[in-house]
Amino acid sequence: MDSRIMNVLADRVLELGPQPDASGTYRNFKLTRDADGIAWLLFDREGASANTLSADVIAELDAVLAALETQRPAGVVIRSAKTSGFIAGADVNEFRGATDPRLVETEIGRAHAVIDRLEALKIPTVAVIHGFCLGGGLEVALACQSRIAIEDARFGFPEVMLGLHPGLGGTARFTHLVNPMQAMTLMLTGKTIDARKAKSLGLVDAVTQERHVRNAVKDAVFGRLKRAKPGPLNAVLNFSPVRGILASRMVAEAAKSAPREHYPAPYALIALWEKHGGNRAAMLAAEKISFADLMVTPTAQNLIRVFFLREQMKKLAGHGNTIAHVHVIGAGAMGGDIAAWCANQGLRVTLADMKAEPIAGAIKRAADLFGKIIRKRTEQRDALDRLIPDMDGEGVRTADLIIEAVPEKLELKQKVYASLEPRMKQGAILATNTSSIPLEDLRTTLASPQRLLGLHFFNPVSRLQLVEVVSHDGVDPHLLTQALAFVGAIDRLPLPVKSSPGFLVNRALTPYMLEAMVMLDEKIDKTIIDAAAEQFGMPMGPIELADQVGLDICLAVGDMLRSKFGDLLPPTPAWLREKVARGELGRKTGKGFYVWKDGKADKTSGAVVTAQPTQEMIDRLMLPMSNVCVACLREGIVDHADVVDGAMIFGTGYAPFRGGPLNYARSRRAENIVATLRTLAVKFGDRFAPDAGWDDFK
């Protein structure tokens, strides 16, 4: 916890003369009373770094509230004793494996009763919020009469990311307190807002600094703090005919990014508000049923699984990052963006290239990125100051980590290594961002091959969380541990993989993209091919993705993998080479399969296509991914099936509601996948032959 908060809390306890209230001691809460008769309820969940709401915690809160009803202090202040923030939300562990919606409804009903009891207290209640206040934590705060935010507070309802909507009364309380359009937008997107924005919305009554908290609390308890109240517009927007119009617009907007059949939660939330938004009590009652019904859907259970996959992969990073200075060689799209991300995460970065123009372009892209993701201008400036152009490559001498991000050509990479290896300091790591070349090939000319490893980032670096950390049989284990810690330190998810052609992600993704090229050869329209993948749940189709990645890169990776795996991959059409030779590389040149305008593919031109994707098309695109993932498990490229699923979701955007390609295979049943692959192999060739790993797949 921030030392200022600790000092304030310590001073407060000393002032009390005191001891805990007569209600006794609690496992997760500490209840004290100050000289003004105000009860301070500190939430400090036992054995956890962050406060979350479990059934046990909710039950204990109920006991605390019962004691407060008896004691009748002048007021009650609820705040966190954790450094990380107020309350991170519900304990997601308790959501896993739910199958009976009525049991869920019963459990959520018990929690509702406790939050209602907090709201019904006949004494002033104040939530003092620092750090994060998310989901169920925000619902606790909403049940208090006043909310005081410390300047660093963040507020949000991320439940939609788990296939849910708020379930502890938040849907009703939030849409009645603040402008329902703004409230619904926050719940539908899962975005967070800072303290100042929360104040402007009327979500909090005051924003203050830690040293002024006690006075702000006294003002709130004794009626001197002006509380935010719903404006007249709220009543208009919550009026039934208006809700109907606004709800239809919300549905149309949600459909652009979250199809109803894959992601039911946004539509359930909209329907809840549309039907009951004018009646707070009815909405509270209906919320429990809607939440429970969502909890048992495959989408929610798979998205909850994805939440834990992320936590599992975070742990792979370990602790103790020792990397302070990163030197990046190659200021192209990948190298420049890797450098920018590292600078954004507080590291000193030197960026080298053969020419000044790519470095200038990378600095401009970095400035644009920092403007979008960093709020304070001074912090944007500091991040840019950490990103240092280095035409002469002097950063090599002092860097703890060197990341090579030059084009995918073995000879070129080895030439770069020959020039920099003699200048590297002892103990420095040499990492390659290669997307497909085995490290066994790259290391052959190195004097110290043990310092070479792979750090394979994914495009766009600022959005895709995965980094493949590639090892070979001669790598220094200590450097590998350092590399994993570095990935965690820059807020990315590491995937330890053994060196092999394409590693995991590109090896699995390449047949998906090349099969799409074969379909084009069969005169299937590109929009139908993309629609097939999007119908499955992919964020974009393989044709658009190929344009996004760059057709030259797709061709190079495809050639590399075909040289290793031969007929296990679809053939590369000759016209694709011609397209690359003409410079039609996709987004980066403005034209590939699509014409690109302002960074987006133009799908409006061309003939109108009325045909629809078939299940066979979907299987041709998607099942080879699962097949390759099983092969990588069998070969020991990756150690665990769960991590494979996490990697494909966080590295490629594989439909999160499916839970990953192996989880999808599990839900569809392995025997069905194998039978379908065999049928496809008979019709289209041996590239669809089921891998031997299916025999042991569970």
- Which residues are the active-site residues? 90, 136, 139, 159
- Helix axis angle, 356-373 to 377-386, nearest 10°: 150
Whether residues 335 and 290 share a domain: the answer is no
Question: Residue 48: inside a domain, yes or no?
Answer: yes
Q: Which is it for the CA torsion 268, 274, 275, 277, positive or negative?
A: positive
C-beta separation of 36 from 54 below 8 A: no
Q: Which is it for the CA torsion 269, 273, 275, 280, positive or negative?
A: positive
Q: How many other C-beta atoms lie within 10 A of the C-beta of residue 593?
A: 23
C-beta separation of 273 from 171 below 8 A: yes
- Which string of b and e fits 318-330 if b means at least 16 CB within 10 Å? eeebebebbbbbb
Whether residues 22 and 91 share a domain: the answer is yes
pLDDT reported for residue 23: 44
CA distance linking residue 627 with residue 428, whole number of Å: 38
Whether residues 648 and 561 share a domain: the answer is yes
SS (H, E, C) 248-269: HHHHHHHHCCCCCCCCCHHHHH
Whether residues 155 and 259 share a domain: the answer is yes
Question: pTM value?
Answer: 0.90
CA distance linking residue 122 with residue 423, whole number of Å: 72
Task: Provide the pLDDT confidence category of residue 243 given band limits of 50, 70 and 90.
Answer: very high
Segment 252-265 mean pLDDT: 94
Whether residues 544 and 486 share a domain: the answer is no
Question: Residue 585: inside a domain, yes or no?
Answer: no
Q: Domain range spanning residue 669?
A: 506-574+607-696
CA distance linking residue 303 with residue 35, whole number of Å: 48
Say whether 74 sits in a helix, a strand or coil.
coil
Q: How many other C-beta atoms lie within 10 A of the C-beta of residue 588?
A: 17
Whether residues 323 and 226 share a domain: the answer is no
**DSSP code string of 539-595:** SS-HHHHHHHH-HHHHHHHHHHHHHHHGGGSPPPPHHHHHHHHTT--BGGGTBSSSE
The CATH number given to whatever domain includes residue 267 is: 3.90.226.10
Cα separations in angstroms, 163 against 133, 158, 264, 297, 404? 19, 10, 7, 8, 39
Whether residues 222 and 122 share a domain: the answer is yes
CA distance linking residue 14 with residue 42, whole number of Å: 15
Question: Residue 485: inside a domain, yes or no?
Answer: yes
CA distance linking residue 496 with residue 230, whole number of Å: 51
Task: Provide the pLDDT confidence category of residue 83 given band limits of 50, 70 and 90.
Answer: very high
SS (H, E, C) 24-59: CCCCCEEEEECCCCEEEEEECCCCCCCCCECHHHHH
Does 8 have pLDDT greater than 70?
Answer: no
Segment 195-222 mean pLDDT: 96
CB-based contacts of 359: which residues, under 8 Å, 6+ apart? 331, 336, 351, 352, 353, 389, 391
pLDDT reported for residue 633: 96
**How many domains are there within the chain?**
3
Whether residues 330 and 465 share a domain: the answer is yes
- Give residue-wise pLDDT tens across range 415-463: 999 999 999 999 999 999 998 889 999 999 999 999 999 999 998 899 9
CA distance linking residue 136 with residue 90, whole number of Å: 5
Does 338 have pLDDT greater than 80?
Answer: yes
Q: What burial class does residue 314 get, using C-beta atoms within 10 Å of its C-beta: 0-12 exposed, 13-18 middle, 19+ buried?
A: middle
Q: Which pair of tokens denotes residue 12?
A: 């407060």
Whether residues 414 and 372 share a domain: the answer is yes
Question: 25-34 long-range CB contacts below 8 Å, 24 or more apart?
Answer: 26/60, 26/63, 26/64, 27/56, 27/60, 28/56, 28/57, 28/60, 29/60, 29/61, 29/64, 30/81, 31/64, 31/67, 31/68, 33/73
Last residue of some domain: 497, 523, 557? 497
Question: Residue 107: inside a domain, yes or no?
Answer: yes
The CATH number given to whatever domain includes residue 639 is: 1.10.1040.50
Question: Residue 581: inside a domain, yes or no?
Answer: no
Q: Which residue has the tokens 């390659």?
A: 432
Cα separations in angstroms, 454 against 346, 351, 402, 437, 637? 22, 18, 11, 10, 14
Over its C-alpha atoms, the chain yields an Rg (Å, rounded) of 28
- Looking at 4-18, 636-650, 668-682, which range is the least confident one? 4-18
Last residue of some domain: 439, 465, 497? 497
Question: Residue 597: inside a domain, yes or no?
Answer: no
Does 607 have pLDDT greater than 70?
Answer: no
pLDDT reported for residue 17: 31
Q: Are strands 600-602 and 595-597 parallel, antiparallel or unpaired?
A: antiparallel
- Give residue-wise pLDDT tens across range 121-165: 999 999 999 999 999 999 999 999 999 999 999 999 999 999 999
Question: Residue 246: inside a domain, yes or no?
Answer: yes
pLDDT reported for residue 3: 39
Does 18 have pLDDT greater than 60?
Answer: no
Give φ, ψ of 469 to 5 degrees.
Answer: -105, 105
Q: Which is it for the CA torsion 170, 171, 174, 176, positive or negative?
A: negative
> Is cis: bond before 460, omega within 30 of 0?
yes
pLDDT reported for residue 232: 86
pLDDT reported for residue 481: 97
Whether residues 165 and 30 share a domain: the answer is yes
CA distance linking residue 179 with residue 186, whole number of Å: 11
Does 9 have pLDDT greater than 80?
Answer: no
pLDDT reported for residue 375: 84
CB-based contacts of 354: which residues, under 8 Å, 6+ apart? none
Segment 634-640 mean pLDDT: 95
Question: Residue 304: inside a domain, yes or no?
Answer: no
pLDDT reported for residue 606: 66
Whether residues 282 and 341 share a domain: the answer is no
Last residue of some domain: 263, 296, 329? 296
pLDDT reported for residue 21: 46
Whether residues 551 and 491 share a domain: the answer is no
Q: Which is it for the CA torsion 12, 17, 22, 28, positive or negative?
A: positive
pLDDT reported for residue 340: 97
Q: How many other C-beta atoms lie within 10 A of the C-beta of residue 407?
A: 13
Task: Provide the pLDDT confidence category of residue 19 given band limits of 50, 70 and 90.
Answer: very low
- Give residue-wise pLDDT tens across range 483-495: 999 999 999 999 9
Task: Provide the pLDDT confidence category of residue 499 given band limits of 50, 70 and 90.
Answer: very high
